[in-house]
Structure formats: C-alpha cells, structure tokens
Amino acid sequence: MRTILTGARLFDGRTLHDGMALVIESGQIAALLPESEAPEGALERLPGGILAPGLVDLQVNGGGGVMLGDAASVEGIARICAAHRPLGSLYLTPTLITDRPEVTARVLAAGIAAAREGVPGFAGLHIEGPHLDPRRKGAHDPALIRPMTGADLAALCRAAAELPSLMVTLAPESVTPDQIAALAAAGVVVSLGHSDTALGPARAAYDAGARCTTHLFNAMSQLGNREPGLVGAALDTANAYAGLIADGIHVAPEVLRIACAAKRGEDRLFLVTDAMAPAGTDMAEFTLGDRPIYRRDGRLTLADGTLAGADVTLPAALKVMVEKVGLPLDAALRMATSTPAACIGAGERIGHLAPGRAADLVHLDDALQLTRTWSAGA
C-alpha cells in the first residue's frame, strides 16, 4: 500500500519545504519530492500546517498514570511510551528520578528488555540522580542523594552497552572526572544538573566527557557577574547540549531568548517536557515516593510549592518558543526533533524525514496544535 501526504509544509528535521509530497510505502518513508512528481497512490491532502518527524523527548519521568520508578518493567516502559504518543512525542527516553540502588537496577534491566522487545518509541533511558548535589535537589529526595561508587559506575557502563542510549544526569560535586571519563568512554551521555558547582569544576566535567546539561537554569548554580556557575559554563561551552523546559513557568521567555542567542547557530538546545505520571491523563495529583504532587494551573508542585516536573507537551513548548521567545519556526522544530536525536547519537534513526526511515510523523496545524500522529505509517 502506498500513501501520499500533501498539503502541509514538510519539515525534514533541518529545513521547512513548501509544495512537497511525502510518500509512504510499507510503513516507511519512500520519498520526499515535489507534489507535481508524486507517483500514483492513495493521496491524502492535509489542511495546511506542518508535517514533521515524530517529536523526541529526552526527559520523561512518567505518563499514563505511572512513574518509571514505580513501573520498572517492560510493560511500564511501554505504557509510558504509549501515553506520550498521542501527545506528539513518538520517541522518548523514560527517566528515573533519584531512587534506591535496587530500583535503579530494575529500571536498567527493564530498559534492556524493552530494547530487545522493540517497544515502540523507546529510545533509551535517562537516569537522573542519585549522584546530585543536595543543595540543588529540586523535587528529588535528599535522603537518597549520594556520591557515585565503583559499583554504580560499573552498572551504568554495562547497561550503556545494551541500551539504544543511556543519559545520566549527575553533579560534578558527586563524581570524579575519571568517573565521568569512564562513563563517556562507555557511550553514556553524561549530563550535568542538580548542581551548585562553580565554573571551574563544571568546565573540568565537560573536559572529562560530559556533553549535556539537564533542564538548563533549573536546579543549578546561576550565571553571576563574577562566578558564571553551571549556567554560564553550559552557555559558554560550544559543543555542550542542553535541555530546556519551555512551559512559560520553569524559565522566563526572556531567559529562553538569551539562551538561544548564546547558542545561536550551534543547534545544541533541545526541548524536554520533564513529564510526570499525569501526562496523557486527567489526574489531579499523584505520589512521588511518599510525597503528594499536585497538578494545578499548568504546574506540578510539592505541598510547599516546589516545582516537581512539568505539565507541558512538546507541541505546547514549540508554541512558546515561536510565539513568546520569537524563535524561527524551523529552529524551534529542530529543538524537538533532530537536535535531541543528535544528542543521544540517534540522528541516523530518528528526528528526520528521509527515505528508508520509519514513517513516524506528526501533523501540527498553523497554530502549532497537534492534530495527528503516525507510527510506521499508521
């Protein structure tokens, strides 16, 4: 069966194209070509808008009513991935918030099994903690934060060899440069976050092999006039990636604009949802460990008002970047497709529209509202 989609602007992961057709055959992209050259087949004309690769989210703590730590199984990972598919995130790295060593071990084992079973949308794991700085704990349980041990290092390196990708968020204060170098050599994407570090140790961590920063500006040392902190180090390290929560709450639009200006032309900033269990549901509250989290007015918070993840989708974040930050549409779209894919080394598989790739697509209308998704052409 051949399907031909026309009528929308095509975003191929880098550039927007007008007057193009996307040809799908047997669940794969067969061609991108001018509408006038489209072959015969089942033609569907979309009502304008944008046809883009399935969006990629590298920080997803939960969804469909569960958190990864409480659903550390292939079924739990599949449930989280399925919950985000109708929200536009067709690829994601389910994320474990700081937890006990035995929970981390279960999540790593579940991720390896999910990869072997080919769970749709599973792009790897993100382990956020427990090797953080308690001074910048955010919603993480400070009782579980601890330095990295040799056993922790070995377990992460082993898992990296069997997962599609493995990102680990850590604070330079909680590890050594040698541990960072060993993780990087094993293929782990080392991301700095939840840290009160000064510029010097942050630079040493990047030099040792860290290449990303987790939810830039949140839960980290800020940019000062004499001490640039982790924010300054992230913005001033040209090859460092960084995730951003663009919900209009975690980071002011003006600050997002400054970050984009600092990283202009580098394609190193990407959007994340930092989603929690309520994603894809109408849940009003849930439990993180033994602490209640409340969902109110677009926010997820602990009882004391501390932000605990976010209540945003990637299409909504795109809208913030375009309408409030003023980013060009193609640049914003890269932040949700090709840039996060490149960050985890998956750019040859996801984040782009190209012949031979799975026809995993999203359609956004002219107001950047998600209207449809396709998985393997369906």
Which residues participate in catalysis according to the annotation? 274
Distance of alpha carbon 246 from alpha carbon 20, whole angstroms: 30
- Tell me the two tokens of residue 79: 């449930």
Cα–Cα distance measured from residue 63 to residue 11, given in angstroms and rounded to the nearest whole number: 27
CA nearest neighbour of 126 among 273, 321, 315, 292: 273
Q: Closest Cα partner for 295 from 92, 65, 93, 78?
A: 65
Q: In sequence order, which residues have a C-beta less than 8 Å from that of residue 72 and are 6 or more positions away? A: 96, 103, 106, 107, 109, 110
Closest of 252, 236, 232, 182 to residue 210, by C-alpha:
182
The total of other beta-carbon atoms located within 10 Å of residue 127's CB is 28
| Cβ–Cβ under 8 Å, residues 360 and 78 | no
Cα three-residue angle 53-54-55, rounded to 5 degrees: 110
Euclidean distance between CA atoms 165 and 346, whole angstroms: 8
